[in-house]
Amino acid sequence: MKRMFSHSWKVWTISALLFCGVAGVLFKVSTILPVEKKSVDGLSFQALPSAPAFAARSLDGKTVASTQFAGKVYIVNFFASWCPPCRAEIPDMVSLQQQYGSKGFTFIGVAVNETEPSIRAFILKNKIDYPVVMADDNIVSAFGRYVTGGLSAIPTSFVINSSGRITQVITGGRSKEDFEKIIVDALKKPETFQ
């Protein structure tokens, strides 16, 4: 019986890693969310959806809440330490956090299917200096409603502009250049229509 469990666990782990790797390759295209059409002075435009309100305890014991980021640009990144595309983009995210943190930008990491000890070790090893929280049902469902079929692949990142609106949902890993372009654009372009 123990041998069967061990084999099942190995099969599940290998399947999860393969799925994560394939998801990182297959879902390279940013998705702009479907949004509600509105009208101003007879002109039709599409309003960007508001980012969900959330509050969670970071691994350093501080509260991380959406209200703290009012007026700032941030990217909420759902990731796992065992996911190859997630691991590949983390060093670039750390570098970009250091470069753009003083300009009103931050990443917020949401660790999915992790234990606190394993994610703490991962944070130390990778010198992650932006807030990281453990995923729970509330935060997963709050952001998952903006993805067709729910939040089912990692990494998945949500770009939130300074007006508190989601401008992009990105499924799959990104290069430093891709993330930097997204950050720079978001910092210099406050949205006109809200």
Residue 170 bridge partners (DSSP): 30, 157
CB 185 within 8 A of CB 107: no
CB 157 within 8 A of CB 77: yes
pTM: 0.77
Q: Please report, as a single letter, which amino acid is at residue 183.
A: I
The domain defined by 2-188 folds into Glutaredoxin (3.40.30)
As a whole number of angstroms, the distance between CA 140 and CA 147 comes to 11
As a whole number of angstroms, the distance between CA 53 and CA 50 comes to 9
Residue 121: predicted pLDDT: 96
Question: Phi and psi (nearest 5°) for 165?
Answer: -110, 145
pLDDT, tens digit (0-9, with 9 covering 90-100), for 58-95: 888 889 999 999 999 999 999 999 999 999 999 999 99
pLDDT, tens digit (0-9, with 9 covering 90-100), for 112-125: 999 999 999 999 99
40 pLDDT more than 90: no
